[in-house]
Chain A
Amino acid sequence: MQNYIIFSTLLFAIGIAGLFINRKNIIILLMCLEIILLAVNTNFIIFAKAWGDIAGQAIVFFVMTVAAAESAIGLALVVLIFRDKHSISVDQLNQLNG
């Protein structure tokens, strides 16, 4: 139980660190999001087992649906950005001057 929590939290932390490390490649940023969602899903499953309530697994099911939709649209946006700028670096996305 404890070990599983360490595992999922470590995965989450790695995903967060990856968001900060990779500034040059939006695709890897999307993959970090997938790692974070995986960690969250793992947590849901851990606690579903701990509480003996399968509703947690149903929620994982829906989270996976939304994650698949998100990555499909995200990758479409990446392709659009690449067409526009011929680069997928985060640092070059400064058109809004944010």
Chain B
Amino acid sequence: MQNIMFWTCATFAIFASALCISAKNPIRAVLSLIATFLATAVCWLMLEAEFLAATLVLVYVGAVMVLFLFVVMMLDIGPATLRARFTRWFPIGVALAAGLFAAIYAILRKAAGTLTAHENLLSYAAEVSNTEMLGKLVFTNYLLQFEVAGIILLVAIIAAIGLIYRGPQARKVQRIAEQVAVDPKMRVRLVDGA
């Protein structure tokens, strides 16, 4: 049962990600990436990472991919610019990807081979939920990293806003500094009454 579930979701994720990198339409790419995330979240669930699976759906599908969709829809990318996509880099990319796959798989299989003996023995404690374990770990051993992660997010917010913001464009605003700095001589001209 678990095997069938895994193969279904894994195949779905692989196909969706292949569709994502080869899609002509950016919207279609975003949607297939969402499908990839959802299928992978199911795989994470089967690996007993329930909290992270939920986070993947909430944060990635719910926030990051919506941001991607916003940007794709905001930028008016003409279809002409998207033509001629399979460039001279295509064979190099595929060859490199295949080589990387072979190399990484060989290494990881060796690493995994050393621990298949006690694979079934080690299961997370059944009476404690995944979220509780992760929370305890993050708020004790990884407290500093947790705080740094918060600062990184703050910096990202400020950087993104600072990059995009270009001041008021179409609306009228008061320039308070100029108002305060104004001199009566600039506004009032005394004329001779005679």
Residues of A within 8 A of B (CB): 1-7, 9-25, 27-28, 30-32, 34-35, 38, 41-43, 45-52, 54-55, 57-58, 60-62, 64-73, 75-80, 82, 87-89
Q: Chain A interface mostly helix, strand, loop or mixed?
A: helix
Please tell me if the beta carbons of A4 and B75 are within 8 angstroms of each other in the complex. no
Please tell me if the beta carbons of B85 and A43 are within 8 angstroms of each other in the complex. no
Please tell me if the beta carbons of A49 and B48 are within 8 angstroms of each other in the complex. yes
Please tell me if the beta carbons of A54 and B98 are within 8 angstroms of each other in the complex. no
Within 8 Å CB of A41, what residues of B?
52
Q: How many A-B residue pairs have CB under 8 A?
A: 237
Within 8 Å CB of B68, what residues of A?
27, 30-31, 71, 75
Q: Complex formed: what's the CA distance from A46 to B49 in Å?
A: 9
The 4 closest A-B pairs by CB, nearest first: A20-B93, A52-B122, A18-B21, A69-B156
Interface size on B, residues (CB 8 A): 88
A17's partner among B75, B93, B112, B142 (CB-CB below 8 A) is B93
Within 8 Å CB of B72, what residues of A?
27
Residues of B within 8 A of A (CB): 3, 6-7, 10, 13-14, 17-18, 20-23, 26, 29-30, 33, 36-37, 40, 43-44, 47-49, 51-52, 55-56, 59-60, 63-64, 67-68, 71-72, 74-75, 77, 81-87, 89-90, 92-94, 96-98, 100-101, 104-105, 108-109, 111-112, 115-116, 119, 121-124, 130, 133-134, 137-138, 141-142, 145-146, 149, 152-153, 155-157, 159-160, 163-164
Of listed B36, B86, B160, residue having the most chain A CB within 10 A = B160
Give 9 pairs: A residue, B residue, CB < 8 Å, sorted on A: A7-B14, A21-B87, A23-B85, A52-B121, A54-B134, A62-B149, A66-B152, A75-B67, A79-B164
Please tell me if the beta carbons of A42 and B43 are within 8 angstroms of each other in the complex. yes
Q: Complex formed: what's the CA distance from A76 to B155 in Å?
A: 13
- Given A11-B14, A35-B33, A45-B49, does the pair A65, B153 have CB atoms closer than 8 Å? yes
Please tell me if the beta carbons of A17 and B21 are within 8 angstroms of each other in the complex. yes
Please tell me if the beta carbons of B21 and A15 are within 8 angstroms of each other in the complex. yes
